[in-house]
Structure 1
Amino acid sequence: MSELLTFDEAELIDLSIGLEDGAPSEPTPPAIDAFDHKAGAKRLAENLQEQGYDVEPADFPEGMGLAWEDLAVIPHAGTHLDAPWHYGPEVDGEPAKTIDEIPLEWCRGSAVVLDFRSMDPGEEIGVADLEAALDDLDHELSPGEIVLLQTGADELWGQPEYLTEFPGMSAEGTKYLVEQGIKVIGTDAYGFDKPFAAMGESYVESGDEDELWPAHFAGREVEYCQIEKMANLDALPRKTDIPLVAFPIKIENGSAGWVRPVALIGDETGGDTT
């Protein structure tokens, strides 16, 4: 980047998908029970009554209390960051980090977007595909960069096809990126590996256990995190030198945490515009 980008100069581009009640693109969709202000007054009054205070819902200004929601949701719903613990208990013989142990330094940096929208659903992104995408950008990876895989699958959000129509990473491709010093890899698809059905079919045909979640299980050999269910990568004005922050929520001993990746884009920050 040619100039220092300050926050007041930056355009913020949201690269996330939020939590939605009963979303058809989630195999385990969040359940969100929302309470409006009238219901909030009733609940708050009941809470105070249980503590021995004589308060009625009508006592609140205009009879309205506080609105809120009750959520039943897994940390892998919506845009989220998977921790190494998600992949296995150890990484190369060392204890795997849970989401509350992830260094914040991993989750901010300069991002590069690799375009795989021409690949077919169910295909696997290999080392040669990654190298070709980097060559197209004339870009050499640097340690600490964040690599984002653009499949175009986010355009299917809200439809059942979101779960099945995307290419996924290979074990070799994952290890290749981590060996370049990459700690965080993101995708705009439902999953980091290819779709469940594609993996199941490959396993039934071959009987090879390496066909099951190979990119995830690469995390038992090399330490990295992945962001799944990103969105809006096509809104980015360039493919390299993208300042990105993606800090996950802390869940004690968690396998993942919800995250809202945001790109900070300025007018004169340099980088490839392809």
Structure 2
Amino acid sequence: MPVIDLSSPVDASGWEPDPIVHEIMTPAEGARHMAEEMKTHFGLDFDPADLPGGELLSLDTLTLTSHTGTHVDAPSHYGSQGDYGTPRHIDQMPLDWFWRPGVVLDVRDVGVGVIDRARVEKALADIGYQPKPLDIVILHTGASQHVGTPRYFTDFAGLDGPATDYLLDLGVRVIGTDAWSLDAPFTDMIRRYQETGDRSVLWPAHFAGRRREYCQVERLANLDALPEPFGFQVACFPVKIAGAGAGWTRAVALVDE
């Protein structure tokens, strides 16, 4: 069964609003660090020079948010209270949501702005597929071409409220996107809000999660590699971070043969 990587890297060399700090301890530094830790915590004396080449293991320390790279948003990310009760954190979500049949919707023609219900319905009609309960629906906006640059955070399209509710009404509980956010860019949302005064244009896809329990997978990549718009499984298990509103995932597609 071919496995296709659908994940963006966590790359400290790329541009991020919240920069990634990636500190690397070399194997030689790791040997000295280990000796110091053994002495401090366990009272053991060990000379790193006794190791082959004076090296042990490298160690990477990263400072980043749980929304860096490809990640899964939990209901608790959307607000502290939900119409359905207290929103769950990422470590509380059912794992069977995150290994399901997938369907990708090509909405690259939208450009920058809003993907409404009519556009979602058209994308499904174009491929002749109706999502089943717990299918994972993924939006191909084309945003991943800008990963690592400021444009990744401003040049994409996101769902409006009715489009989000439409997918949730079908029983979908995980919606993915190759963009930074499942909502439209904040530049677009704020402009429309300032022009109209309509608060419903502000983060409607995220705020739908206050009414309906669901998860988002943001910052997917490599959607062009999928041979067909459906007929594959998506695995996107989130890292089990206790009490967190999101968790990183190495999302992949497993293609049926």
TM-score w.r.t. structure 1 length? 0.90
Q: Please say if 1:57 is aligned against 2:63.
A: no
Structure 1 residue 22: Cα displacement: 4.6
SS at match of 1:243: strand
Deviations 1:168-192, CA, capped at 9 Å, x for gaps = 1101111110010000000001111
Task: Tell me the residue number matched to 2:198.
Answer: 208
Moved more, 100-109 or 83-92: 83-92
Shift of 1:31: 1.0
User: Which of 255, 259, 272 does residue 245 from structure 2 map onto?
Assistant: 255
Contact 1:22 1:31 survives alignment (8 Å): no
Q: CA deviation at 1:55?
A: 2.0
* Inter-partner Cα distance in structure 1 for 2:13 and 2:183: 24
Residue identity in the other structure for 1:117: R
Q: CA shift at 1:91, angstroms? A: 2.7
Residue 216 of structure 2 corresponds to residue 221 of structure 1: no
Residue 88 of structure 2 corresponds to which residue in structure 1?
97
* Greater mean alpha carbon deviation, residues 193-202 or residues 85-94: 85-94
Contact 2:84 2:212 in 1 (8 A): no
Residues 202-233 of structure 1 deviation map (CA, whole Å, 9 limit, x = unaligned): 22222332222111001111111000000011
Between the aligned partners of 1:91 and 1:260, the Cα distance in structure 2 is: 28
What does residue range 1-274 of structure 1 map to in structure 2 within 5 Å?
10-24=1-15, 26-50=16-40, 51-121=42-112, 123-267=113-257
- Residue 63 of structure 1 and its aligned partner are, at CA, apart by 0.2
Q: Which runs of 5+ in 1 are unaligned?
A: 1-9, 268-274
3-state DSSP of counterpart to 1:95 = coil
Query: How far, CA to CA, are the matches of 2:165 and 2:183 in structure 1?
Result: 13
Instruction: Give identity over the alignment, percent.
Output: 43
Measure the CA separation in 2 of the matches of 1:69 and 1:176: 42
- Give the CA deviation at 1:29: 2.6
Question: Mean alpha-carbon deviation: is it higher for 158-167 or for 182-191?
Answer: 158-167
Give, in whole Å, the separation in 1 of the partners of 2:68 and 2:128: 35
Question: Structure 2: any 5+ residue segments left out of the alignment?
Answer: none
8 Å Cα contact 2:124-2:130 kept in structure 1: yes
Deviation of the 1:163 alpha carbon: 0.9
Instruction: Say whether the 8 Å CA contact 1:20–1:30 is kept in structure 2.
Output: yes
TM superposition score normalised by structure 2: 0.96
Q: Would the aligned equivalents of 2:12 and 2:19 in 1 still touch at CA under 8 Å?
A: yes
CA distance in structure 2 between the partners assigned to 1:27 and 1:171 by the alignment: 26
3-state secondary structure, aligned to 2:23: strand
Instruction: State the shift of 1:20 in Å.
Output: 1.4
User: Quick one: distance in 1 between partners of 2:83 and 2:165?
Assistant: 12
Q: CA RMSD in A?
A: 1.3
Cα distance between partner residues in 2 of 1:223 and 1:129: 23
Preserved CA contact (<8 Å) 1:203 1:211: yes
Tell me whether 258-267 or 31-40 shows the greater mean CA deviation: 258-267
Deviation at 1:237, TM superposition (A): 0.5
Deviation at 1:200, TM superposition (A): 1.7
Q: Is the 8 Å Cα contact of residues 111 and 141 (structure 2) preserved in structure 1? A: no
Q: Is the 8 A contact 2:89 2:243 kept in 1?
A: yes
